[in-house]
DNA sequence: TAATCGGGATGATATAGATCAAGTGAAAGG
DNA sequence: CCTTTCACTTGATCTATATCATCCCGATTA
């Protein structure tokens, strides 16, 4: 399980990890399995773990006063999941994280991550690279949410993350796009027809 | 002008800058004044500068095929402005940045910033702090854009950035929220009536 | 003193997308 | 194996917001 993370880090930082650093990193993470529908984070609690998704699919979502769920983000293989604000600031989260499919995770506490960042140059580098990519991706997502029609949003998603529509429940993808499931269903049909 | 940046850095990193580092930082930035409606970045060109807004107001926006402008982000005093993806990757930008009011800026090139980050611990720390804050802020903005009604979006903006509605043209704020100027105008009236 | 212009307000109307409701098929769970 | 649930589709209707068209006002500019 850890080998996947190791490969991932070497790829993202474009450098081989010295054996010493591999051990350091390995010892900082814990394996965790989550069954479908199990929670990694409950609203109102502090997000104790940052988790690396080795296998499976997760989502981070909020629930409004009317009880509607709003999917803010998905996590598939090779993605990180946590409510970063809660994780970093140790404040109670307004979000939930649960497993959409059975998951294999590698989790790390805030404390361990902080220590690791100081001890491992590769982890420092990884953080920078990920923050940068996240910045680019969210800017595009914001732009699409303020400028695009529903159909454009779906087409854009099909280009950016084609896996989402193939793999994840459509009602969750609809929520992620800020649409209703009915609208997403109709628009897909419409797109298909071309 | 530079003193503002210095204070800002000391505040954000919660530590006093040694004089040597102050000089290093000062020498990395250039002063630039921009008159209202002048551009810092034109779509199709590479974003050469990251700029710190000492005074004034700017916006980063895209233009769609129909010629509509979409404001992705504003920059007021104490904010940074650039198309980070273009700035970092040296790729042509799809965005424009121009001045909404006359601006005083401190600008830095990618090369100088990279050098500075290596030479100045404070700048390294600043980058981390800013990335983190940006992460928190964009997650909330995405959540609001997928979950809120128009009225909720306006109320949320009034809580988060009350300056925007007082200081910036309403049509630009509407665009930032993904609404039409007419809708924003009506909703404000409606909110006022309570 | 106009004449112009850009931002904002407001009314009338149109429409994209939401909501409500029903039916279907597949899969989860006892 | 049944049966209960859930995701998805489709149709009918509703409504929030967009669009279109004027009008207004204050700030430039001629």
- Which residue, B111, B109, B191, is CA-closest to B150? B191
> Is it the case that residue B150 has pLDDT exceeding 90?
yes
CB A25 within 8 Å of CB A33: no
Q: Which of B68, B131, B141 sits opposite A142 (nearest CB)?
A: B141
pLDDT at residue B60 in the model: 97
Q: How far apart are the C-alpha atoms of B145 and A14, rounded to whole Å?
A: 35
User: Which residues 6+ apart lie within 8 Å of A157 measured at CB?
Assistant: A164, A165, A173, A177
Q: At what angle do helices A150-160 and A170-177 cross, to 10 degrees?
A: 110
Strand partners, A60: A73, A97
Closest C1' nucleotide to A173's CA: D7
**Is residue B194's pLDDT more than 80?**
no
Nucleotide nearest to A36 (CA to C1'): C28
Distance A177 CA to D8 C1' (A): 17
DSSP category for residue A18: P
SS3 per residue for B15-61: CCCCHHHHHHHHHHCEEEEECCCCEEECCCCECCEEEEEEECCEEEE
What number of H helices and E strands is found in chain A?
9, 8
User: Going residue by residue through chain A (194 aa), what tens digit of pLDDT does each one get?
Assistant: 899 999 999 999 999 999 999 999 999 999 999 999 999 999 999 999 999 999 999 999 999 988 899 999 999 999 999 999 999 999 999 999 999 999 999 999 999 999 999 999 999 999 999 999 999 999 999 999 999 999 999 999 999 999 999 999 999 999 999 999 999 999 999 999 87
Q: What percent of chain A has pLDDT over 70?
A: 100
The spacing between the Cα labelled CA in A99 and the C1' in D8, in angstroms, equals: 21
Q: Retrieve residue B38's tokens.
A: 């002048």
If you ran DSSP here, which 8-state letter would residue B73 be given? E
Tens of pLDDT, residues B20-54: 999 999 999 999 999 999 999 999 999 999 999 99
Could you give the strand order of the β-sheet that contains B103-109, starting from the edge strand earlier in sequence?
Answer: B30-34, B103-109, B49-55, B80-81
Task: Give the Å distances, CA to CA, from B108 to A155, B25, B26, B28, B53.
Answer: 37, 10, 10, 6, 12
Do B135 and A178 make contact, defined as CB atoms within 8 angstroms? no
Which nucleotides along chain C are within 7 A of a protein C-beta?
Answer: 7-12, 16-21, 29
Tokens (6 digits) for B168? 């910036």
Contacts of A126 (CB under 8 A, 6+ apart): A9, A12, A13
pLDDT tens sequence across B122-140: 999 999 999 999 999 999 9
- The answer to whether strand C lies under 7 Å from the CB of residue B62 is no
In a mutagenesis test of the B interface, which of A90, A138, A145, A146 is the best target, namely the one with the most B β-carbons within 10 Å?
A146
pTM: 0.94
pLDDT at residue A194, as a whole number: 75
pLDDT, residue B114, reads 96
- Residue A13 · residue A129 · CB < 8 Å: yes
Q: Which of B71, B84, B146 sits opposite A135 (nearest CB)?
A: B84
Report how far Cα A23 is from the mean position of its chain's Cα atoms.
Answer: 25
Q: How many CB atoms lie within 10 A of CB A186?
A: 14
Mark residue B47 as left, alpha or beta (left: phi above 0; alpha: psi -120 to 50; beta: remaining): beta
Q: Which domains does chain B have, with CATH numbers?
A: 2-120 (2.60.120.10)
Q: Calculate how close chain A gets to B168, using CA atoms only, in Å.
A: 18
Footprint of strand D on the protein (CB under 7 A): A 169-172, 181-182, 184-186, 188-189; B 149-151, 178-180, 182-183
For B63-80, the pLDDT digits (tens) are: 998 889 999 999 999 999
Order the strands of the A58-63 sheet from edge to edge. Answer: A39-41, A96-99, A58-63, A69-75
């Amino acid at each position: 399980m850890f080998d996947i993370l190791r490969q991932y880090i070497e790829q993202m930082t474009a450098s081989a990890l010295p054996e010493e650093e591999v051990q350091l990193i390995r010892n900082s993470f814990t394996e965790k399995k989550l069954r479908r529908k199990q929670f990694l984070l409950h609203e109102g609690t502090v997000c104790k773990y940052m988790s690396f998704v080795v296998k499976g699919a997760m989502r981070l979502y909020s629930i409004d006063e009317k009880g509607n769920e709003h999917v803010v983000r998905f996590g598939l293989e090779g993605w990180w999941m946590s409510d970063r604000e809660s994780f970093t600031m140790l404040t109670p989260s307004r979000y939930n994280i649960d497993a959409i499919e059975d998951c294999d995770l590698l989790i790390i506490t805030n404390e361990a991550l902080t220590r690791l960042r100081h001890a491992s140059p590769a982890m420092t580098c990884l953080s920078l690279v990920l923050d940068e990519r996240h910045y680019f991706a969210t800017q595009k997502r914001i732009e699409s949410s303020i400028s695009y029609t529903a159909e454009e949003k779906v087409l854009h998603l099909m280009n950016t993350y084609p896996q989402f529509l193939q793999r994840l429940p459509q009602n969750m993808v609809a929520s992620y796009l800020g649409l209703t499931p009915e609208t997403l269903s109709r628009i897909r049909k419409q797109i298909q027809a071309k």
